[in-house]
Structure 1
Amino acid sequence: MSSTTDELACVYSALLLHDAGMEVSHENISNVLGAFGIEVASYWPKLFAQFFSSQDMAELVSSQCAVGASAGGAAAGGAAEETKEDAPADEEEEEEESSSEGGFGGLF
């Protein structure tokens, strides 16, 4: 496995343990990985257990969800604002074109 895959496996194991209400320790991370048949370098579970022991896991998860939601909302909101501004201009141009055509498609 690559180091990125090892890291992701440990993160997902830690999240699984947290969700199950279990202690996020290197033994538990190793047990979860073993249960799924995932082999990682022996230092990864210890490293992640040490990191998560000094963090509030619920805070980490909720803060990342909030950041993702606000970033997505801002992008969507910006696109909606542009559409609102463009719409009246388009309607005015269409009205000007149709009134100059004289009602008969520009034949006369």
Structure 2
Amino acid sequence: MASSDELACVYAALILADDQVAITSDKIATILKAAGVSVEPYWPSLFAKALDGVNVKEMISNISSGVGAAPAAAAAPAGQAAAPADDKKAAKKEEKKEESESDEDMGFGLFD
């Protein structure tokens, strides 16, 4: 779980990104000071170095395509291999379901 120092720096970085201001350790520290939040002195510089050259707005708006793309691509071949067996099981279940829903099993028809 993230500490309050980390969260404060994340929010400060997001504020800077939203205002289209370069994210530097000095600017993060200035925002934290204005908010009355005290953090360890290494956090602002750590976040500034981590976000150097990163378009934060683009990263946030494309987070689902970047994170989910690799696992979904890796899972596709495994899913394709299991698909024929799953299709047979599904067909058998549908067959059994159709048999149990027929009018003959109930002993009467709809228009009898």
- 2:107 is aligned to 104
- 1:94 is aligned to 97
Aligned mate of 1:56, from 54, 71, 74? 54
- 2:25 is aligned to 26
TM-score, with structure 2 as normaliser: 0.58
Describe how 1:1-80 pairs up with structure 2 within 5 A.
4-53=3-52, 55-58=53-56, 60-61=59-60, 64-68=63-67, 70=69
The number of aligned residues is 97
5+ unaligned residues in a row in structure 1: which ranges?
none
Moved more, 96-105 or 2-11: 96-105
5+ unaligned residues in a row in structure 2: which ranges?
74-78
What's the offset of the Cα at 1:67? 2.4
Instruction: Show CA shifts across 1:1-26 (max 9, x none).
Output: x9732122212211220121112111
Q: What letter matches 1:52 in structure 2?
A: L
Q: Distance in 2 between matches of 1:73 and 1:50?
A: 30
SS at match of 2:51: helix
SS at match of 1:41: coil
Q: Distance in 1 between matches of 2:18 and 2:104?
A: 67
Give the 3 Å change call, closer, same or farther, for CA 89–9 of structure 1 in structure 2: farther
